[in-house]
Amino acid sequence: MVGGRSELMAIRDALYIGPMLSRLLGRALPSRCRICHAWPAQPLCEACVAAFAQPVARCPRCALRLAEHDSPCPDCLRDPPPLERCVAAVDYAWPWSDCIAQFKFGADPGWRDALALLMRSTPWAEPLIDACELAVPMRMPERRLRERGFNQALELARRLAPQRCDATLLMRLPDARDLPEQHTLSRAARLANLRGAMLVDPLRLPAVQGRQVLLVDDVMTTGASLRAAAGALLQAGARSVSALVLARTPAPGTADAVRAATDADQALYRD
């Protein structure tokens, strides 16, 4: 979606000047690590990335932690998801739950580049980014977008694949709460049943057909939204759909999940 000179300049900046400048800034200007507060450091210092973002074995289809690499988890073997490949940089646990909360609610642009770089550095992420013809950020419900003012998945997708990012392709059916009052109750009830359902803009089908698509999101919880989006894209004619997410919520009922939930709770109380 290119519209006007300022957008062209923004794209040019993202392509050429942005990465160069951020690398230069990371090296040349002193700043504090946002996790351990050590400085001078890059926004995420090497020690924190080494301590908290070590690659772990994950299911190639749903990114849950596994004991071994590259074998789908039992759930994905039983019921293969529409995602050809799913890569997560980290578990949704402290310190990342804390970082993501700051990114979402603080609207701190400094996080955007650091977290996108973390995603790009994850094993298997770079080939997915390079191979995709479209990078599609997950849509938020309109009400949440109005409250927050920006979509963090779009911010990440723009950094990861600036030339191929398409934020308008995927549509999300509105929540019943977003409907104007003149809508009948029965229509609202019907839409409530479809809450979270996704479809490809019918006018944009040619943009999807035959393409290799990469969905981008910040947090993958159950994976239901990503599966719905992938299903809609495949139905619209996409050749394949994969996903790259920043953080994956561990499987419910596991020790990882208990630890992650505790860490996420604690993150709310940290200063």
Instruction: Please count the other Cβ atoms lying within 10 Å of the Cβ belonging to residue 75.
Output: 15
Q: Least Å distance between CB 98 and Zn ion?
A: 13
Q: Least Å distance between CB 40 and Zn ion?
A: 11
Contacts of 135 (CB under 8 A, 6+ apart): 129, 157, 160, 161, 164, 165, 166, 213, 214, 216
Q: Least Å distance between CB 225 and Zn ion?
A: 16
Does position 230 bind Zn ion by CB under 5 A? Answer: no
Q: Least Å distance between CB 264 and Zn ion?
A: 20
Does position 261 bind Zn ion by CB under 5 A? Answer: no
Q: Which two tokens stand for residue 137?
A: 């950020």
Q: Which is nearer to Zn ion, 25 or 36 (CB)?
A: 36
42 backbone φψ class: left, alpha, beta (φ>0; ψ -120 to 50): beta
Does position 76 bind Zn ion by CB under 5 A? Answer: yes
Yes or no: say if 176 and 195 are a contact pair by the CB < 8 Å rule.
Answer: yes
Q: Least Å distance between CB 95 and Zn ion?
A: 9
Q: Which residue spans within 131-186 are E strands per DSSP?
A: 134-137, 170-172
Q: Which is nearer to Zn ion, 5 or 78 (CB)?
A: 78
Q: How many Cα atoms occupy the beta-carbon half-sphere of 1 within 13 Å?
A: 9
Does position 93 bind Zn ion by CB under 5 A? Answer: no
Query: Which 32-61 positions form the footprint of Zn ion (CB under 5 A)?
Result: 33, 35-36, 45, 48, 59, 61
Instruction: Pick the piece of the chain touching Zn ion (CB under 5 A) from 30-38, 170-178, 214-222, 228-236.
Output: 30-38
Instruction: Pick the piece of the chain touching Zn ion (CB under 5 A) from 1-9, 74-82, 224-232, 239-247.
Output: 74-82
CA nearest neighbour of 232 among 201, 210, 260, 211: 201
Residue from 73, 145, 173, 188 in contact with Zn ion (CB under 5 A): 73
Instruction: Give Cα 137 distance to the centre of its chain.
Output: 7
Does position 191 bind Zn ion by CB under 5 A? Answer: no
Binding site for Zn ion (CB under 5 A): 33, 35-36, 45, 48, 59, 61-62, 73, 76
